């Protein structure tokens, strides 16, 4: 019987390397593809996951496994769909999550189409998440709850989910590291990369300066009583809950509580002022749409947020969410993702925090 073909998105990191090795062992015809974005490398810094080093590492893993390996340049679509939005969102006083858009538009759209055009049945990645086929496809948290990456994947549609494999969903990170050693993969010892791949040295502020410097204007920092406390360097350089870099000394620590684009002002306050309960999300997307419009679910408001229970009220183009307990730094631009235990129900982009 002819083997079925699967494309593995190989970044050169441990996870996608092991994903490829597992599929190869399961007797798929595996093709490795590494995306290349030709991004400016800030000199001397350690290479980011999608940099040249990543391509070389992916290639050496592919050679070791004896699989085909191609490098595809997806720079244009990355700029159009991810980087432009990334900059624009910051200008609007929001804090975007580019990884979510990358999954939505690059990995599981542009790259998925390439994979299908190569006659592959699936595109596999090294994400920690699981897909379960019921009547529809469901997205589920990974077995390793500490590593779970389902948050980044909530915008996937049925047409995408049916062509995706997450071979690592049932493994813990420790097991994956062990597998990398057992498979004797050249990337077994590599450190995890947590940063956003197109930001050299995780410096998003420096990146914005090189791209949208002229649109960035300094403005005032005020407290909720309206007292002027100082000057900010431009809205894009701040995020809700930020404490560092405000340059103001008060008797107690100050946090960014609100960013107001219209007046180019940044509000600061005490830590307790950053805790909020209610907010709206826009552009909602459901993988498993609830039947009722009012529902209680677990909600995560950023990747490293401890899921908290909330009541949702679903409207046509927005959702109102009310946490049972106030949460720190509900941040416009970030995504709120809804969970029913292990299942990803859906999510949306945080639009407005209600007082």
Partner 1 sequence: MKRVYLDYAATTPCDPEVIKAIEPYFFDKFGNPSSIHAEGQEAKKAIEDSRQTLATFLGAKPEEIIFTSGGTESNNFAIEGVAFALQNKGNHIITTAIEHHAVAEPAKFLEKRGFKVTFVGVDKYGLVDLIDIKQAITDKTILISVMHANNEIGTIQPIEEIGKIARESDIYFHSDAVQTVGHIPVNVNELGVDLLSLSAHKFYGPKGIGALYIRKGTRIERFLHGGDQERGRRASTHNTPGIVGLAKAIEICQSKMTDETKFQVLLRDRIIKGIQDKISEVYLNGHPTKRLPNNVNFSIKYIEGESILLNLDMLGIAASTGSACTSSSLEPSHVLLAIGLSPEIAHGSLRLTLGRWIEEQDIDYLLEHLPVVVEKLRAMSPLYEKK
Q: Is residue 117 part of the contact set for partner 1 (CB under 8 A)? A: yes
Q: Is residue 342 part of the contact set for partner 1 (CB under 8 A)? A: no
Spatial CA neighbour of 332 closest among 196, 250, 240, 263: 240
Q: Is residue 76 part of the contact set for partner 1 (CB under 8 A)? A: yes
56-64, 69-77, 186-194, 331-339 -> range binding partner 1 (CB under 8 A): 69-77
Shortest distance, position 286 Cβ to partner 1, whole Å: 26
- Number of chain residues interacting with partner 1 (CB under 8 A): 16
Q: Is residue 3 part of the contact set for partner 1 (CB under 8 A)? A: no
CB count in 10 Å sphere of residue 330: 26
Residue whose CB is less far from partner 1, 49 or 229: 49
Q: Is residue 38 part of the contact set for partner 1 (CB under 8 A)? A: yes
With contact defined as beta carbons under 8 Å apart, do 74 and 108 qualify?
A: no
Shortest distance, position 76 Cβ to partner 1, whole Å: 6
Three-state SS at 93: coil
Question: Is 102 known to be catalytic?
Answer: yes
Residue whose CB is less far from partner 1, 40 or 245: 40
Beta pairing partners, 336 = 348
Shortest distance, position 23 Cβ to partner 1, whole Å: 17
What 3 state SS string does 6-46 have? EEEECCCCHHHHHHHHHHHHCCCEEEEEEEECCCCCCCCCC
| 178 Cβ contact list (under 8 Å, min separation 6) | none
Site for partner 1 (CB under 8 A): which residue of 42, 75, 264, 342? Answer: 75
With contact defined as beta carbons under 8 Å apart, do 21 and 27 qualify?
A: no
Alpha-carbon distance of 106 to 10, in angstroms, equals 14
Question: Is 36 known to be catalytic?
Answer: no
Where do contacts with partner 1 occur on this chain (CB under 8 A)?
31, 36, 38, 68, 70-73, 75-76, 113-114, 116-119
Catalytic residues: 102, 197
């Amino acid at each position: 019987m002819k083997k079925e073909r699967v494309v593995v998105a190989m970044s050169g990191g441990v996870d996608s390397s092991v994903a490829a090795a597992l599929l190869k062992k399961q007797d798929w015809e595996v093709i490795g593809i590494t995306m290349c974005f030709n991004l400016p490398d800030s000199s001397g810094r350690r290479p980011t996951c999608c940099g040249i080093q990543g391509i070389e590492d992916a290639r050496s893993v592919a050679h070791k496994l004896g699989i085909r390996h191609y490098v595809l340049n997806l720079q244009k679509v990355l700029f159009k769909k991810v980087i432009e939005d990334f900059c624009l969102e910051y200008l609007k006083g929001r804090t975007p999550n580019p990884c979510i858009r990358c999954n939505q538009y690059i990995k599981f759209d542009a790259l998925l189409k390439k994979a299908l055009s190569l006659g592959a049945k699936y595109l596999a990645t090294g994400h920690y998440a699981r897909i379960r086929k019921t009547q529809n496809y469901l997205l589920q948290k990974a077995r390793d709850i500490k590593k779970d990456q389902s948050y980044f994947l909530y915008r996937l549609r049925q047409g995408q989910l049916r062509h995706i494999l997450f071979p690592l969903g049932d493994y813990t990170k420790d097991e994956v590291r062990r597998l990398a050693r057992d498979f004797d993969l050249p990337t077994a010892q590599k450190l995890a990369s947590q940063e956003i791949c197109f930001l050299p040295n995780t410096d998003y502020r420096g990146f914005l300066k090189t791209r949208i410097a002229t649109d960035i204007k300094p403005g005032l920092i005020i407290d909720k009583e309206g007292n002027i406390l100082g000057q900010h360097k431009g809205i894009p350089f701040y995020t809700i809950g930020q404490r560092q870099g405000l340059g103001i000394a008060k008797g107690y620590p100050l946090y960014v509580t609100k960013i107001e684009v219209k007046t180019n002002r940044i509000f600061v306050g005490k830590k307790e002022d950053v805790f909020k309960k209610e907010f709206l999300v826009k552009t909602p997307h459901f993988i498993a749409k609830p039947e009722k419009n009012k529902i209680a679910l677990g909600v995560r408001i950023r990747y490293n947020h401890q899921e908290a229970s909330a009541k949702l009220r679903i409207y046509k183009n927005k959702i109102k969410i009310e946490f049972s307990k106030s949460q720190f730094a509900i941040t416009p631009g970030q995504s709120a993702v809804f969970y029913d235990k292990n299942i990803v129900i859906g999510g949306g982009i945080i639009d407005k925090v209600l007082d």
